[in-house]
Every structure is written in structure tokens, then in C-alpha cells.
Amino acid sequence: MPGGRADAHDPPEAPARQRSNGRVHLRAGPVGGAGPTRILDLAESGPSRLRFPRGEGALEAVLVNTAGGVACGDAFTIALDLAPGADLVLTTTAAEKIYRSDGPVSQIENRVTVAEGARLAWLPQETILFDRARVRRRFEADLVEGAALLAVEIVTFGRAARGERITDGLFADTWRVRRAGRLVYADSFLLDGPISDLLARPAIGGGARACATLLDVSDGAEARLEEARALLDEAAASGIEAAASAWNGHLVVRALSVAVGPLRSLVARVLAGYRDRPMPRVWQS
């Protein structure tokens, strides 16, 4: 009864969950304004870590999630601050897994600032949504004039090896890119409910199980449209629909695929040709 002692037959209260809260902040750039890109400041907390394989050229940062994935209610934040002249490649050690949730929504916040003459290649490996996953992800970028951003994201809906369908879930993905303080690119993508059934509709996914977006915001990006289309033609594979467009000083490639493996291969080939650089080593393992 209210205010009285609990009955011996009452079920025990569920224990409070311990959720992951991972944060990474990296500031990088040439020391003294010249030379190779170095780590100027680095802060890490929770299960999020950055590792820096040795190599030539750009500084490569590999994001590691020691929690093994994202579970219901987890929160992850990445903040990158590139000083003038910095050249950074950010990738992930493996595909990021978004696990099933019984209600709480996970939050992923990515924020980048790119100064004059700096270049950021945002190249994480694919994100895998499990059935009943619930996640909101946001990518915010602030570029000054003369800065360059190349970003790619691949998402696969359900574990293909298990023939998994997403009977219910939430995937909200928001991109906002500003250049010299002016919004130049805005994209909001939302799938809520029976995601696999939604993707089966011709007007939404046409039966796709994976999608990819590649965005180039840099000087001359818009003029590279025919080059991007030629690279897509060279990498074309059965079961993939892809197209490139350019406007407002940037270029966008979008792709849908019935399977993530061929889509990942196409993205890697297009990126390697577009950047004229090999993909990060973790992509090749």
C-alpha cells in the first residue's frame, strides 16, 4: 500500500543502468604555423580514445570506442579544432555498432572547426544499426574561407550476415556546415518506425539496406563534378545506385545499395581516386 512496506512478492526494481559517455577533443596544426601537423591539445574521457599511427603526409587519427559499440542512452562527442595549415584524417578502427534499445535514444555529436588553409578528411568506417536501435547523430562544421572539408558516412540497416531486418527503430542524422559564418549545407535524414519496410518503398530506398553520403566543401569542389561522376562510373557495381551533384560551392555524392560490402568498396575506390591518396590502413584490414 502507498507509504507502507513493499510486499515480499513485489518484483525488485530494475537497477539503474550505467551508460557510456565518451568525449574526445583534439586540436591539431603545424607547430609555429609551419611544418607537419602535430597534436596541439588532446583530451579524452569515457570509452573514447584517439590513436595516431605513424605515417607520412597528413596526421591520421583513429577513433577507438572501448565500449565496443553504442547502447541505449549512451552519449558520444567528438570535437576537432584544426589550426591554420593543418592536415588531418579522422577514421575509426572498425564499424560502429548501434545496439538495440528498449527506449532511450543514444546521442552522437560531432563538431569540427577548420581554419584557413586547413584540411579535414572525415572518413569513419560504416555505422551498423541493429534491430530496434535508436540514435540521433549530428555533424556540425564551421569553416573559414580557404578551409577544406571532405566527409563521408556509410550506414547499414541491419546485420546483413544474419538477414536482420529493422522492424522498429530510430535513425536521425543531421548535417550542418557553415563557411565564413554562413550556412552552406544543411541535410536532415530521419527514419522512425519499421525502417526496413520504409526503405523498401520506391520513393525512399527502393529496397536498399545501406546508404552513403560524401560531401566536399572546399575551393574548387563544385568544378570537380564531372571528375566525381567519372569515378562513380569506374567503380559502378551491381545493386548500387549512386549520383553526384554540385551547387553552392560544394559537391555531394549519394549512394544506395542492397548490401554494405559493395557499397563500402565503391566508396573506398571513389575516395582514393578523388583524394589521390590511399585509404587509411584500417579500411584495408
Looking at residue 219, its amino acid is D
- Pick left, alpha or beta for residue 60 (phi over 0 → left; psi -120 to 50 → alpha; otherwise beta): beta
**How far from 215 is each of 45, 52, 166, 169, 256, CA to CA, in Å?**
29, 24, 27, 26, 15
Strands 127-129 vs 148-157: parallel, antiparallel or unpaired: parallel
Q: What is the pTM of this model?
A: 0.92
pLDDT of residue 2: 42
pLDDT of residue 197: 95
Which three-class secondary structure state does DSSP give residue 275?
helix
Distance CA 123, CA 205 (A): 23
pLDDT of residue 32: 80
Q: Could you give the count of Cα atoms lying within 13 Å of 31 in the half-sphere of its Cβ? A: 5
pLDDT of residue 16: 56
pLDDT in tens, 29-53: 999 877 899 999 999 999 999 999 9
Q: What is the 3-state secondary structure of 199-225? A: HHCCCCCCCCCEEEEEEEECCCCHHHH
Residue 96 sits at φ, ψ, to 5 deg, of -90, 130
pLDDT of residue 55: 77
pLDDT of residue 226: 98
> What is the block-wise mean pLDDT of the chain (285 residues), using blocks of 10 residues?
47 58 96 89 96 89 94 95 97 95 94 97 97 97 97 94 89 97 96 96 94 97 98 95 95 96 96 96 86
Please state, for a pLDDT cut of 70, what percent of the chain lies above it: 94
